[in-house]
Structure 1
Amino acid sequence: MTQPAAQARDISKRFGRTLALDGVGITVAEGSTHALVGRNGAGKSTLVSVLTGLNRPDSGQVSFGGEPAPPVEDREAWRRRVACVYQKSTIIPTLTVAENLFINRQALGGGSLISWPRLRRRAAELLDEYAVAVDPAAMAADLTVEQRQLVEIARALSFGTRFIILDEPTAQLDGPAIERLFARMSSLREGGVTFLFISHHLQEIFEICQEVTVFRDARHILTSPVRGLSKEDLVEAMTGEASGLRTEGNRSPVAENLTPVLKVSGLGLPGQFQEVDLAIRPGEVVGIAGSASSGKVALGEAIVGLRKPVHGEVQVSGRRLRPGSVPAALAGGIGFVPQDRHKEGLVAGLSVAENATLPIAHKLGRFGAISPGRRRAVAESMITDLAIKTAGPEQDVAGLSGGNQQKVVMARALADQPSVLVLIDPTAGVDVRSKENLLDAVDRAAGSGTGVLVISDELDDLRPCDRVLVMWHGAVAAEFAAGWTDGELVGAIEGIGESSE
């Protein structure tokens, strides 16, 4: 009988007073793609740290191919058994692809001197073996997200491991790139590679996985074949309650005669987008979808001042904003949730309260001094409104789960009661319940008269929108009123659909 590629049994792990894993287990069959899902804070990341030898469990056993895991001190032995491609890339941008592939082993077993021609030749052979179309001499900083992931997978396989953990691998990929990743995974599976696939995108679980394991509140809840399992049952296992998957917004239609609160006229940035016109009325939620090359993210960043358009203008409540200025956008009444919360959304080392109240810090005291009591009171209200799971307002934001960090970013965007809210991938990498909390906050903001622009390819993000625009190669190519079907919208995003009036 074939041994499992990886198995964890009765794993418990505690960090101080926090029970991160409570007797959980998982068995990953050789040559399969096994999904691990659960809400943020369910224990997925802690299990990954145990399966990769970064944390020693308080109790329980880990085995690979039926053999006990090596001591945690033996890092080389762990690398031969398991690798993890994290959502946050471990590729070093200032090194070449070849250097990243063989980092800390550049000499290739030939002593202390490095033969650069040999290194590049071995890198080319490795990339060719796994059909990764990347130049070994290219700088890693110039790679796309998709290419970085494939390089990381190739690097892991070069150690000899045949068990790879993929942590939210599709969070920053567009549709075609996701399909290419899935095709590469299928090819590698045929060659004997096993995957543990972690994702908040439930449809992906049903598309590529054979089995799924659900964690909730540090406990193992369910392991089941994917075939025959409904999405509703999966969500119920994750949340502990019957599925409440969002299908549409809860707001009344917006009157057509209202003056737009956001007006974008002829906005253009060469190489990104051109001649974009857009108007959003108070209380209206408008979505923008499109592939990674569509220009949708650059458009959102230009509206909020992160990019400086070459022509056109942005107006908020009838007032023209100074282009390319984030302070001008904030002062003009725009709240913003950026695409990358780690890079642009949070200040690590500051508390939840400090991060959430940054835009209104000047309103929390007199004569340039901030009142800790006022800041704490405002932060506590935000924590309640967005159901942020935290030890308190003074907790370091870096200690929160991804979903709760995203809620802090949303709280900051809403802090100054903006006239316009611009959201880029607002629920990327968050669990089902956190997604509901975030989208409920969008509904409440729109209900109070805020105009909302949602830039995303997540269909659940777009369903509550009053209308959705689809961008293609830098221009608006289609518009869909509420009630669109998944096939219509996805077809337009991929350039094979038609607009719906």
Structure 2
Amino acid sequence: MALNGASIAIAEGETHALLGRNGAGKSTLVSILTGLQRPDAGEVLFSGEAAPALADRDAWRRQVACVYQKPTIIPTLTVAENLFLNRQTDSGMIKWRALRARARELLATYEVDVDAEALTGDLDVEQRQLVEIARALSFGARFIILDEPTARLDGPAIERLFVRMRALREQGVTMMYISHHLDEVYEICQSVTVFRDARHVLTRPVADLPHDDLVTAMTGEATVAYESRTRTPGEKVVLSSAGLTLAGRYQDVDLSVRSGEVVGLAGSASSGKVGVAETLVGLRKADSGTVVVNGARVKPGDVPAALKAGLGFVPEDRHHEGFVPLLSVGENATIPIARRLGRFGTVSPAKRRGKAVQLIKELDIKTEGPDQPVGDLSGGNAQKVVFARALVDDPAALVVINPTAGVDVKAKQALLGAVEDAVERGAGAVVVSDELDDLRICDRVLVMFHGRIVKDVPRGWTDHELVAVMEGIQP
């Protein structure tokens, strides 16, 4: 059951957190609150008045707006076109000058420093998200739902988002904030509601709820911190780069990862860390430098060559790069080994299903079975499928980017455990993350600043020490 007698009450003008593990019913509630799904029982009230009829989409947009975790803007259109998509004009021809003027006025109202004529695809993640917030509010709603808004933002960008959220609250905007980052809830929210197993568990003021009690409410058990395993790396280098340089992103990047070793890459969004990781796997082509995987020099910008050499990859954006939503769990998980699951260019359904069942069990993927479309899974389970695909060919080296973004506490433990399992089998791993907790499994962390590796930090660092290097405070 997606929801079972669940309820939430949000006071006008407050920022109210909705928490729960993946599959707790949060997405279903959002669908109901935005008029995309009709509940079997119960009702939705806005300021004491019954919600509009499901068919009246304009009336719903005037009541509630939602900024989803998965981007909904169209990258090939301008900012102005995205802001007023499907409402460019009331009648007749589109008046482009007037449309751009309306867009500039809307952006100024919500202090979004973006050119209305810029292509949305040229904006960074933070700018695109702010455009989505402005578009959502432009319908006139005073209640906005933010679904994992910080999942792809770094520390400074998160702080800027919170400044805007506080300003919106001062203007009387009510917000429901969905996140897996409990520290953010304590920083930005006044109240919190927890769902577990499709039911309402508690609603409390944030100030009156200890951190451990909140985790217990979400999981049904006491807090269990993830403990990194101790290990001794081998001598064999399974992944290395020398002199990697890409103009405007990074320069002279040398790194070396041994069998049985986890190396972290940390830094701000502009540090170049994601660009380096994407170059290692062939998604980007460096201007100069070399990448060697499992002893074989890999052709620059050639993803198939990197995979063939023994590289497994978990991309930054699972929605666009990690899986094919309409394909099944089994199809997605076995893509890299499809050639070995049959003869004469065909795939044996029985062999694919058998391998998929094995991966589902190993990674504890909550699914109806190998034939379920990945697009139907919760965020944490979809990410496990992405991991399954990365691990299915027993890679010699693994590169993972923001592996736990947008997943709950239990899923984080499972995903980090999967990285360590692969390393214990002899792989080497590079973990790129904005989450300090992800980096705790690393034997050492390479910190990047303005496109260069500035420090190799051994295991045992404190949050303060690592953040100081990331922000350029220490050499």
TM-score, with length taken from structure 2? 0.97
* Structure 1 residue 115, shift from structure 2 partner: 2.5
Aligned to 1:488: 465
Distance 1:349 1:101 in 2: 28
Please tell me the residue identity of whatever aligns with 1:229.
L
Please tell me the residue identity of whatever aligns with 2:338.
A
1:26 aligns with 2:20: no
Regions of 4+ moved over 4 Å = none
Which one of the candidate residues 252, 277, 282 is aligned to 2:231?
A: 252
Distance 1:419 1:139 in 2: 39
Structure 1 residues 263, 161: CA separation in 2 closer, same or farther (over 3 Å shift)?
Answer: same
* Structure 1 residue 284, shift from structure 2 partner: 0.5
Moved more, 116-125 or 35-44: 116-125
Aligned to 1:162: 142
SS at match of 1:60: coil
Which one of the candidate residues 100, 122, 127 is aligned to 2:102?
A: 122
TM-score, with length taken from structure 1? 0.92
Distance 1:123 1:383 in 2: 47
Moved more, 366-375 or 87-96: 366-375
- Contact kept in structure 2, 1:267 and 1:309, CA below 8 Å: yes
1:71 aligns with 2:50: no
- Contact kept in structure 2, 1:253 and 1:466, CA below 8 Å: no
Which one of the candidate residues 310, 319, 327 is aligned to 2:287?
A: 310
- Contact kept in structure 1, 2:231 and 2:260, CA below 8 Å: no
Aligned to 2:71: 89
Gaps of 5+ in 1: 1-18
Aligned to 1:55: 37
Structure 1 residues 72, 268: CA separation in 2 closer, same or farther (over 3 Å shift)?
Answer: same
- Contact kept in structure 2, 1:260 and 1:280, CA below 8 Å: yes
Distance 1:227 1:494 in 2: 30
Distance 1:117 1:364 in 2: 57
Give the number of aligned pairs: 475
1:100 aligns with 2:82: yes
Please tell me the residue identity of whatever aligns with 1:251.
T
Please tell me the residue identity of whatever aligns with 1:409.
V
Distance 1:375 1:458 in 2: 34
Aligned to 2:164: 184
Aligned to 2:242: 265
- Cα RMSD (Å) of the superposition? 1.5
Please tell me the residue identity of whatever aligns with 1:31.
G
Distance 2:347 2:133 in 1: 48
Please tell me the residue identity of whatever aligns with 1:274.
Q
* Structure 1 residue 73, shift from structure 2 partner: 1.4
1:382 aligns with 2:359: yes
Which one of the candidate residues 368, 380, 384 is aligned to 1:403?
A: 380
Which one of the candidate residues 209, 212, 219 is aligned to 2:192?
A: 212
- Contact kept in structure 2, 1:251 and 1:447, CA below 8 Å: no
Distance 2:198 2:114 in 1: 40
* Structure 1 residue 140, shift from structure 2 partner: 1.9
- Contact kept in structure 1, 2:70 and 2:319, CA below 8 Å: no
* Structure 1 residue 275, shift from structure 2 partner: 0.6
- Contact kept in structure 2, 1:336 and 1:423, CA below 8 Å: yes
Distance 1:412 1:136 in 2: 39
The 5-angstrom pairing of residues 393-472 of structure 1 reads 393-472=370-449
* Structure 1 residue 296, shift from structure 2 partner: 0.7
Cα offsets for 1:391-434 (capped at 9, x unmatched): 11111222111111110110111111111010011111111111
Moved more, 131-140 or 431-440: 131-140
* Structure 1 residue 46, shift from structure 2 partner: 0.6
SS at match of 2:270: coil
Aligned to 1:326: 303
Distance 2:15 2:66 in 1: 14
1:293 aligns with 2:270: yes
Structure 1 residues 265, 24: CA separation in 2 closer, same or farther (over 3 Å shift)?
Answer: same
SS at match of 1:411: helix
Distance 1:70 1:368 in 2: 53
Please tell me the residue identity of whatever aligns with 1:26.
I
Cα offsets for 1:98-118 (capped at 9, x unmatched): 2222222222x5x43433222
* Structure 1 residue 72, shift from structure 2 partner: 1.2
* Structure 1 residue 147, shift from structure 2 partner: 1.6
Cα offsets for 1:344-397 (capped at 9, x unmatched): 111232211111111112222334333222221211111011000011111122
Aligned to 1:473: 450
Structure 1 residues 322, 93: CA separation in 2 closer, same or farther (over 3 Å shift)?
Answer: closer
Distance 2:411 2:274 in 1: 22
* Structure 1 residue 230, shift from structure 2 partner: 2.7
SS at match of 1:23: coil
Please tell me the residue identity of whatever aligns with 1:254.
P
SS at match of 2:66: strand
- Contact kept in structure 2, 1:216 and 1:239, CA below 8 Å: yes
Please tell me the residue identity of whatever aligns with 2:29.
L
Aligned to 1:14: none
Distance 1:280 1:92 in 2: 38
Cα offsets for 1:256-312 (capped at 9, x unmatched): xx1322121111111111111111111111110111111111111111111111211
